[in-house]
DNA sequence: AAAGGGTACAACCGCGGTACA
DNA sequence: CTGTACCGCGGTTGTACCCTT
């Protein structure tokens, strides 16, 4: 007996969202929150699957999203987190404020993976690809690349095996490629040395950078304040929505959202 | 200028985990 | 304890856009 479909596939609409649908979804969530994704489409007057609404909101409409390409630091952070966590995109995303798991996953698949391969690094194991003597597909990759993404040495690196990380005390083989800036080194050294961080990530505890949008925004009422001082990069530009504006039904900003996309405001 | 190929990213699908009746 | 419904995650697909020829 299989699971029942989450929604009536004959009734729900699929495909790209229209501006009108976006507006309806934003309006509804800002006024009511998202108590139940399954019921939301009906209540919001959308012919969409609840799942689709949730995805649209979390990956695209959420006001705290940062848009645009990942910065070099963010990219480097993703690489390192991936080395530790594997394809745990949501965990990785939780360490990058304003970024979604989907966005990071896409960026990994389209950019980072290729860069690593180009550098002769296996994107999955984060180990050199040319360990075998006959692997000569990219002899210069480790010493000269146009991209300065590099693997950083670390004391006790981990690697993923069947979805679980195991300690590999002898795996720091990707060394000697450290041509990144001091700034990056600083950023990453903080990460490498932060055993607490990774034990935290591996636990089921909520990380500090997790977005406040889920569940905690009961009675959301349109109030959105900075929740995390960690947001120094993107968050510094985040808007602060006042309850007055929302309660006063000042939806002007939504029109802007529609005209330009919420992301154009640096949300 | 047009066609074809490549790329980026939004969106969908299916599954696992979990809460609850 | 079991079955069901829901949520969230990771993998995959579809398509619009960009670049090259």
Is A39 inside a domain boundary? Answer: yes
Flag residues 4-23 of A with CB < 7 Å from strand B. Answer: 9, 13-17
Per-residue flag: A133 CB under 7 A of strand B: no
DSSP code at position A167: E
| CA distances, A211 to each of A35, A41, A96 (Å) | 16, 22, 10
Looking up residue A93, the CATH number of its domain turns out to be: 1.10.10.60
Is A49 inside a domain boundary? Answer: yes
Is A109 inside a domain boundary? Answer: yes
- Give the model's pLDDT for residue A103: 86
Higher pLDDT, residue A46 or A138: A46
pLDDT band at A31 (very low <50, low <70, confident <90, very high): confident
Is A10 inside a domain boundary? Answer: no
Q: Which domain holds residue A51?
A: 19-59
- Give the model's pLDDT for residue A19: 86
Domain count, chain A: 2
Å: A130 CA to B3 C1': 39
Å: A58 CA to B18 C1': 21
Among A119, A138, A157, which residue terminates a domain?
A119
Per-residue flag: A52 CB under 7 A of strand B: yes
Among A8, A28, A59, which residue terminates a domain?
A59
Pick from A3, A24, A12: which is nearest to A254 by CA? A24
Is A67 inside a domain boundary? Answer: no
Is residue A161 helix, strand or coil?
strand
- Give the model's pLDDT for residue A259: 39
Q: pLDDT over 90 for what percent of chain A?
A: 0
Is A112 inside a domain boundary? Answer: yes
Q: Which residues touch strand C (CB under 7 A)?
A: A 1, 3-4, 6, 15-16, 36-38, 50-51, 54-55, 87-91, 101-102, 105-106, 109, 214-215
Is residue A158 helix, strand or coil?
strand
Is A159 inside a domain boundary? Answer: no
DSSP code at position A128: B
What tens digit of pLDDT does each residue of A168-219 get? Answer: 333 333 333 333 344 444 444 554 455 555 555 554 443 443 333 433 333 3
What tens digit of pLDDT does each residue of A33-47 get? Answer: 777 888 888 888 888
Among A9, A34, A59, which residue terminates a domain?
A59
Widest CA span of chain A, in angstroms? 70
> With contact defined as beta carbons under 8 Å apart, do A75 and A148 qualify?
no
Per-residue flag: A51 CB under 7 A of strand B: yes
Q: Does A78 lie in the same domain as A52?
A: no
- Give the model's pLDDT for residue A75: 85
Is A180 inside a domain boundary? Answer: no
């Amino acid at each position: 007996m299989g699971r029942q479909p989450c929604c009536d596939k004959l009734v729900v609409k699929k495909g790209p969202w229209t501006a009108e649908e976006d507006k309806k979804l934003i309006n509804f969530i800002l006024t009511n929150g998202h108590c139940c994704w399954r019921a939301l489409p009906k209540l919001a007057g959308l012919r969409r699957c609840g799942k689709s609404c949730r995805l649209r909101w979390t990956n695209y409409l959420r006001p705290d999203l940062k848009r645009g390409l990942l910065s070099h630091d963010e990219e480097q952070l993703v690489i390192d987190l991936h080395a530790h966590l594997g394809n745990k995109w949501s965990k990785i995303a939780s360490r990058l404020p304003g970024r979604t798991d989907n966005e990071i996953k896409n960026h990994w698949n389209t950019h980072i993976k290729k860069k690593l391969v180009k550098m002769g690094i296996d994107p999955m194991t984060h180990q050199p690809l040319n360990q075998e003597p006959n692997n000569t597909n990219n002899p210069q990759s480790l010493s000269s690349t146009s991209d300065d993404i590099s693997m950083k040495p670390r004391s006790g690196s981990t690697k993923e095996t069947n979805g679980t990380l195991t300690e590999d005390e002898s795996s720091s083989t990707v060394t000697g490629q450290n041509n990144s800036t001091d700034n990056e080194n600083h950023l990453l050294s903080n990460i490498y040395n932060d055993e607490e961080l990774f034990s935290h990530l591996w636990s089921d505890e909520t990380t500090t950078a997790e977005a406040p949008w889920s569940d905690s925004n009961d009675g959301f009422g349109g109030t959105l304040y900075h929740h995390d001082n960690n947001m120094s990069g993107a968050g510094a530009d985040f808007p602060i929505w006042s309850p007055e504006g929302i309660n006063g039904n000042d939806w002007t900003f939504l029109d802007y959202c529609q005209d330009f996309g919420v992301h154009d405001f640096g949300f």
